[in-house]
Amino acid sequence: HTAKRRVVVDKESHQPVSIALEVAAHYNARPQLGVEKRQESTIFHLRSFNNWIKSVLIGMHTKRDDKVLDLGCGKGGDLRKWAKAGIAELVGMDIAEISIKQARERYEAMPNARFKARFYAQDCFSISIKRTIQPQEYRANVVSMQFCMHYAFETERKARTMLQNVTEHLEVGGAFIGTIPDAYWLVKKLRSLKGNELEFGNSVYKVRFEQKDRWPVFGHMYWFTLHDAIDDCPEYLVHFPTFRRLATEYGLELLYRIPLHQYYVDALRRDPQYIELLYRMGVIDRDGKGPSIDEWEVSGLYLAFAFKKVREWVPDTTT
């Protein structure tokens, strides 16, 4: 069970060398699949489920004519969800240049898009996005970070830069929403392994930790593989109490943190229209086939969160 790869450590500082570029290279290299290829994929129903979750989340927190900032927007997979929500404006950012190019092309190919959109290739966790966003004082009603915020938990500094980027471009009263792997779920799985075992998974995913003796709040890395989507990519546990505490410092108050299986049950109980949406989005086929047991297990690995910006954040200039 020795790890296949190790985090590169800087010889002088003994700190892990940032893997942001490795992550970007990883996502840049993923081909954009056409509809047919997507339908053939073994994780077709899982992708559809994740899209369904994002649609519900976006629908819950977005109003007509909202301005939206989508950080880590990838190839623009949520463009149609934003269109459906009737937003007025979208700013999409992602560290992976090729993904941003594809997102822009996807937007330009949208028939009668009723919202304006612009896209930037930009690291959103290591540097301020202020200089990129025009105008600098741009304020969104919703900041969305889907399946990407955990990459910021490599260091406290990155997590803080990410939160500063969120709060500086979100109006008071606005929502900060996202989806991330559930660290409790991952740690529970890791702790259930015998002896020196560090790896678990099923036919569609694999998680490999490098050790289970230390539990750092930041930089707790594991390698993640999702069949047909993510190939041994380094990711970080998000220690949610720490995330929540830091977010409070930036004027963001937690509304909820809900594992996706629970989110699914709650949404269906709340509004039967979401049942029809399950079929429309391909989570369940018309012949009744849905996610496999293995796909369902992976979907339980994630959680959804929402924060509300409750007060203006003022940078601390005393330190």
Tokens of 242: 């720490």
Nearest distance from C-beta of residue 80 to ligand SAM, angstroms: 12
Per residue in 68-78, is it b (16+ CB within 10 Å) or e — as a string? bbbbbbbbbbb
Task: Assess 125 for contact with ligand SAM (CB under 6 A).
Answer: yes
d(CA 180, CA 263): 13
Nearest distance from C-beta of residue 22 to ligand SAM, angstroms: 10
Q: Which of 53, 68, 83, 95 binds ligand SAM (CB under 6 A)?
A: 95
**Nearest CB to ligand SAM, comparing residues 185 and 193:** 185
Tell me how many residues contact ligand SAM (CB under 6 A).
19
Distance of CA 117 to the CA centre of its chain: 20
**Nearest CB to ligand SAM, comparing residues 74 and 291:** 74
Tokens of 53: 């979750």
**Nearest CB to ligand SAM, comparing residues 82 and 307:** 82
Task: Assess 99 for contact with ligand SAM (CB under 6 A).
Answer: yes
**Nearest CB to ligand SAM, comparing residues 32 and 193:** 32
d(CA 184, CA 302): 10
Tokens of 166: 């969120």
Sheet bearing 170-181, strands edge to edge = 116-121, 89-94, 67-71, 140-146, 170-181, 302-309, 252-259
- Determine the residue type at 221: M
- Binding to ligand SAM, residues 143-202 (CB under 6 A): 146-148, 151
Nearest distance from C-beta of residue 183 to ligand SAM, angstroms: 17
Task: Assess 107 for contact with ligand SAM (CB under 6 A).
Answer: no
Q: Residue with the closest Cβ to ligand SAM?
A: 74
**Nearest CB to ligand SAM, comparing residues 120 and 193:** 120
Nearest distance from C-beta of residue 298 to ligand SAM, angstroms: 13
Task: Assess 250 for contact with ligand SAM (CB under 6 A).
Answer: no
- Residue 109, judged by CB atoms within 10 A of its CB (0-12, 13-18, 19+), counts as exposed
Tokens of 273: 């229209």
